[in-house]
């Protein structure tokens, strides 16, 4: 029994009132020591302007993409939908701490309470809102794990837009229930690569058995949106405005840590394109840039080690080279990661804001093998009860590494992690893990060299 704990130290959940929902998003651009590199037009090599992006995005989001304002007001209509599940709970992981016998304190912010089950609707609702406001009637998007596709279909349903989802084929096959969820909210979903776009057909012609990747699915969704006036493109991660919308997570967590009478020494999140990590970390990085000491750790799969082994370069955001060029850590736009079960982490690049923060030494990254990650997920489920999404399990594994390092150093640290989603639609992955069928894949050096050849000749960052 835990009879010795008193006051905030004995509490498990730290909850905010609905009235405490953040009313502004935090824009880290205005605090960054080095400004991120401009996004370039692939034809001219010159920075893109609003007109280049207008076929794909509403003006309000294009404005947020380049905004230098420290804070951006959240529209009332968006706040009203957020209030269906926000503020999300912050937990003290007492039982996990006991299970591993650490001297450190572990907290987690739980984004799995949203209707689709992850952090993704924080931006999906905002993107659907601005598109509707500017007269679009339909959105096209990609999805890896299915979390983003279901979040966007949920947002489109509530706001009143049509939605088309290109779902990475391996996830489409691994997660039939995610497909049904997307359909339940009224969206159309097809496996990617598909026969419905030129990009998809070209890839299928060369690789009929392609498992797909986020890069391929993005090509299909961009092509769909660019070809229709009524349709805009929505991206679930990577872009500045997406990371901006996620900062409600970290702002709430700052207030909740205060309720707990604590402040983190370590902040941990998993990184696919970088949005949930940024959502938690950016408001804390604001404190770090202002002088507080915080170790900020990004966790990624060894099969797709963008931050730990990728190069910082200009590259396309998609496989078919339809997007502008962004300066980021990349493994090359035609890299197709092994079909690991954390589908949402299978992306060749990462958010440019995160890349720049990494170059400036404000964050660090580690890469893990999937059997180690699932072992940590099962340990977490067995102590805290929540069955995590395989993506989020990378953050759990990173948290356990940070706690172990603190114990070995004889230190007591406060660790805060983002639990970005639940894994209720990922049971096939757990089945494979229990059956000993999960393959540990670390990216092969030869394959990395091959994939990086695809960026030769592109502009180099200043
Ligand atoms: C639960 C969950 N966590 C994390 C991610 C990774 O995306 P990001 O790095 O943008 O948070 C995904 C992506 O699909 C996801 O579904």
Ligand 1 center to 275 CA (angstroms): 7
| Ligand 1 pocket mutation, candidates 141, 275, 380, criterion most atoms within 8 A of CB | 275
Which is the closest atom of ligand 1 to the Cα of 345?
6
Identify which of 228, 372, 260, 276 has the alpha carbon closest to the alpha carbon of residue 14.
Answer: 260
Ligand 1 center to 391 CA (angstroms): 6
| Ligand 1 pocket mutation, candidates 250, 307, 391, 418, criterion most atoms within 8 A of CB | 391
The CA-atom distances, in angstroms, between 347 and each of 53, 231, 442 are: 22, 24, 15
Between strands 90-92 and 105-110, the pairing is antiparallel
Ligand 1 neighbour 389 (Cβ under 6 A): yes
Please give the distance of CA 101 from its chain centroid, rounded to a whole number: 30
pLDDT in tens, the chain (462 residues): 444 556 788 899 999 999 999 999 999 999 999 999 999 999 999 999 999 999 999 999 999 999 999 999 999 999 999 999 999 999 999 999 999 999 999 999 999 999 999 999 999 999 999 999 999 999 999 998 899 999 999 999 999 999 999 999 999 998 999 999 999 999 999 999 999 999 999 999 999 999 999 999 999 999 999 999 999 999 999 999 999 999 999 999 999 999 999 999 999 999 999 999 999 999 999 999 999 999 999 999 999 999 999 999 999 999 999 999 999 999 999 999 998 888 899 999 999 999 999 999 999 999 999 999 999 999 999 999 999 999 999 999 999 999 999 999 999 999 999 999 999 999 999 999 999 999 999 999 999 999 999 999 999 999
Q: Would you state the pLDDT for residue 2?
A: 44
Count how many residues are written for the chain.
Answer: 462
Ligand 1 center to 292 CA (angstroms): 27
Neighbouring C-alpha atoms within 13 Å toward the C-beta of 246: 28
- In angstroms, the CA 226 to CA 164 distance is 13
Ligand 1 neighbour 307 (Cβ under 6 A): no
Whether 352 contacts 314, CB under 8 Å: no
Q: Would you state the pLDDT for residue 5?
A: 59
Predicted TM-score (pTM) of the model is 0.97
- In angstroms, the CA 91 to CA 96 distance is 11
Ligand 1 center to 2 CA (angstroms): 34
Identify which of 26, 33, 31, 68 has the alpha carbon closest to the alpha carbon of residue 358.
Answer: 33
- In angstroms, the CA 225 to CA 141 distance is 9
Please give the distance of CA 187 from its chain centroid, rounded to a whole number: 21
- In angstroms, the CA 258 to CA 256 distance is 5
Ligand 1 center to 86 CA (angstroms): 18
Q: Would you state the pLDDT for residue 1?
A: 42
Which is the closest atom of ligand 1 to the Cα of 279?
11
Ligand 1 center to 279 CA (angstroms): 11
Whether 148 contacts 236, CB under 8 Å: yes
Ligand 1 neighbour 271 (Cβ under 6 A): yes
Ligand 1 neighbour 89 (Cβ under 6 A): no
Q: Would you state the pLDDT for residue 35?
A: 95
Cis peptide before 87 (omega within 30 of 0): yes
Ligand 1 center to 146 CA (angstroms): 10
- In angstroms, the CA 200 to CA 223 distance is 10
Which is the closest atom of ligand 1 to the Cα of 276?
11
Which is the closest atom of ligand 1 to the Cα of 145?
14
Q: Would you state the pLDDT for residue 3?
A: 46
Ligand 1 center to 120 CA (angstroms): 7
Which is the closest atom of ligand 1 to the Cα of 271?
9
Which is the closest atom of ligand 1 to the Cα of 117?
1
The CA-atom distances, in angstroms, between 4 and each of 8, 107, 261 are: 12, 19, 17
- Burial class, 293, CB count within 10 angstroms (exposed 0-12 / middle 13-18 / buried 19+): exposed
Ligand 1 center to 119 CA (angstroms): 8
- In angstroms, the CA 426 to CA 378 distance is 13
Nearest protein Cα to ligand 1, atom 6: 272
| Ligand 1 pocket mutation, candidates 420, 423, 424, 426, criterion most atoms within 8 A of CB | 420
Which is the closest atom of ligand 1 to the Cα of 272?
9
- In angstroms, the CA 375 to CA 337 distance is 22
Ligand 1 neighbour 418 (Cβ under 6 A): no
* Three-state helix/strand/coil letters over the chain: CCCCCCHHHHCCEECCCHHHCCCEEECHHHHCCCCCCCCECCCCCCECCHHHHCCCCCHHHHHHHHCCCCEEECCHHHHHHHCCCCCCCEEECHHHHHHHCCCCEEEEEECCCCCCCECCHHHHHHHHHHHHHCCCCEEEEEECCCHHHHHHHHHHHHHCCEEEEEEEHHHHHHCHHHHHHHHHCCCEEEEECCCCCHHHHHHHHHCCCCCCCHHHHHHHHHHHHHCCCCEEECCCCCCHHHHHHCCHHHHHHHHHHHHCCCCCCEEEEECCCCHHHHHHHHHHHHHHHCCCCCEEEEEEECCCCHHHHCEEEEEECCCCCCCCEEEEEECCCCCCCCCCCCHHHCCCCCCHHHHHHHHCCCCEEEEECHHHHHHHHHHHHHHHCCCECHHHHHHHHHHHHHHHHHHHCCCCCEEEEEECEECCCCHHHHHHHHCCCCCCCCCCHHHHHHHHHHHCCCCCCC
- In angstroms, the CA 213 to CA 249 distance is 27
Ligand 1 neighbour 112 (Cβ under 6 A): no
Whether 152 contacts 139, CB under 8 Å: yes
């Amino acid at each position: 029994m835990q009879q010795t704990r008193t006051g905030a130290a004995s509490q498990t959940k730290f909850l905010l009132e609905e009235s405490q929902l953040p009313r502004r998003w935090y824009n880290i651009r205005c605090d960054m020591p080095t400004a991120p590199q401009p996004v370039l037009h692939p034809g001219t090599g010159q920075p893109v302007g609003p007109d280049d992006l207008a076929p794909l995005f509403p003006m309000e989001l294009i404005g947020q993409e380049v905004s230098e304002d420290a804070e951006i007001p959240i529209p009332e209509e968006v706040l009203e939908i957020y209030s269906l599940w926000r503020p999300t709970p912050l937990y003290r992981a007492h039982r996990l701490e006991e299970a591993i016998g650490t001297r450190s304190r572990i907290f987690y912010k739980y984004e799995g309470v949203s209707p689709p089950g992850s952090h993704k609707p924080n931006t999906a609702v905002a993107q659907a809102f601005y598109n509707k406001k500017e007269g679009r009637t339909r959105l096209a998007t990609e999805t890896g794990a299915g979390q983003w596709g279901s979040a966007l279909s949920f947002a489109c349903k509530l706001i009143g837009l049509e939605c088309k989802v290109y779902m990475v084929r391996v996830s489409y096959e691994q997660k039939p229930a995610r497909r049904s969820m997307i359909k339940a909210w009224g969206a159309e979903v097809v496996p990617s690569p598909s026969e419905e776009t030129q990009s998809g057909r070209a890839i299928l012609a060369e690789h009929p058995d392609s498992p797909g990747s986020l890069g391929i699915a993005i090509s299909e969704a961009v092509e769909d949106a660019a070809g229709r006036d009524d349709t805009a493109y929505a991206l679930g991660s990577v872009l500045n405005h997406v990371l901006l919308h996620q900062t409600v997570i970290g702002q709430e967590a700052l207030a909740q840590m205060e309720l707990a009478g604590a402040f983190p020494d370590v902040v941990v999140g998993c990184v696919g394109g970088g949005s949930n990590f940024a959502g938690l970390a950016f408001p804390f990085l604001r404190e770090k840039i202002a002088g507080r000491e915080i170790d900020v750790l990004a966790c990624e799969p060894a099969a797709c080690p963008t931050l730990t082994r990728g190069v910082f370069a200009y590259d396309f955001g998609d496989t078919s080279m339809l997007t502008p060029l962004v300066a980021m850590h990349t493994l090359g736009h035609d890299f197709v990661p092994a079909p690991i079960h954390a589908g949402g982490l299978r992306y060749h690049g990462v958010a440019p804001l995160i890349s720049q923060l990494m170059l400036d030494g404000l964050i660090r990254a580690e890469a893990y093998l999937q059997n180690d990650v699932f072992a940590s997920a099962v340990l977490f489920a067995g102590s805290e009860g929540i069955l995590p999404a395989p993506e989020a399990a990378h953050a759990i594994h990173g948290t356990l590494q940070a706690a172990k390092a603190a114990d070995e150093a004889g230190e007591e640290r406060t660790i805060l992690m983002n639990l970005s989603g639940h894994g209720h639609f990922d049971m096939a992955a757990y089945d494979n893990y229990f059956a000993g069928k999960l393959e540990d894949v670390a990216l092969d050096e030869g394959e990395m060299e091959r994939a990086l050849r695809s960026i030769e000749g592109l502009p180099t960052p200043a």
